[in-house]
Amino acid sequence: MVTKTDVYFYVPNLIGYLRIALCMTTFYFAYTHPIIAAVSYAVSYILDAADGMAARALNQSSDYGAVLDMVTDRCATAIMICIVGTLFPDYRIFFFAAMFNDITSHWFQMYSTLVSGERHHKKAKSKYALLRFYYGNRIFLFLMVLGSEAFLVSAYVLHWEKTLLPLQILRDINRVIFYVTLGFFALKQFINLVQLLSASEKVIEFDLKEKNGVTEGTAGNSGKKGN
């Protein structure tokens, strides 16, 4: 029989706790020790793929682990976007808008999944082909997340390039990575907007069904009272 303690200490969940520790290390050293910060954040997102593989391989998938994974992803990405935004103040409005978009779209997606009675936000139905492809194709999903997070790391390194990259060739390589992954980051934000739209429509549809049902019931009761 599986106990509560067992779930807390599932291997993929232990990986999740390690990711949180690495993210906290990143944020603590972000403005003082960029090498530690960049490596910690990069390793954290490499482990993001490892926890899913561990869950499937060890048959240790759980709703707790899914929530832990998503909350860790959203918090880590949001704070990293804030850090990069402060390092590039001329563009901070774009970074903060991206942070808002990322959080709200995933929150709406999770809530719409619940009210629709669907099991998982990645398996939720949508009339938008792009969103279905995004969640339905693991390779595409992996590449989009990898590219988006690589952009944040590359942008962070770009600010500290004189400290982190002593050779010009390394700086040139990082700039190439920056511009290539910028496309992934931009597309990820567009997908988030589509996700927000899709989820919003589901929530409104739920509202309409609930309110129309209440309205009909109220009308019927009012008629009885009038009699």
pLDDT per position as a tens digit, 156-200: 999 999 999 999 999 999 999 999 999 999 999 999 999 999 999
Residue written as token pair 């060890």: 58
Do 147 and 184 touch, CB atoms closer than 8 A?
yes
pLDDT at 214: 56
In this structure, which amino acid lies at residue 23? C
Average model confidence (pLDDT) across the chain: 89
- Assess whether pLDDT exceeds 80 at residue 155: yes
For residues 178 and 52, give the distance between their C-alpha atoms in angstroms, rounded to a whole number.
27
- Assess whether pLDDT exceeds 90 at residue 10: yes
> pTM (2 decimals)?
0.85
Q: Which tens digits make up the pLDDT trace of 88-101?
A: 999 999 999 999 99
Q: Which tens digits make up the pLDDT trace of 12-27?
A: 999 999 999 999 999 9
Residue 14: HSE in the Cβ half-sphere, 13 Å Cα cutoff: 7
For 104-151, the DSSP string reads: HHHHHHHHHHHHTT-S-GGG---S-HHHHHHHH-HHHHHHHHHHHHHH
pLDDT at 27: 94
Show the tokens assigned to 79: 């704070």
For residues 95 and 98, give the distance between their C-alpha atoms in angstroms, rounded to a whole number.
5
Of the candidates 185, 57, 74, which has an alpha carbon nearest to the alpha carbon of residue 121?
Answer: 74
For residues 36 and 43, give the distance between their C-alpha atoms in angstroms, rounded to a whole number.
11
3-state SS track over 155-196: HHHHHCHHHHCCCHHHHHHHHHHHHHHHHHHHHHHHHHHHHH
- Assess whether pLDDT exceeds 90 at residue 116: no
Identify the band that residue 75 occupies on the pLDDT scale cut at 50, 70 and 90: very high
Do 26 and 35 touch, CB atoms closer than 8 A?
no
Show which residues are catalytic.
Answer: 73
Residue written as token pair 């992803």: 73
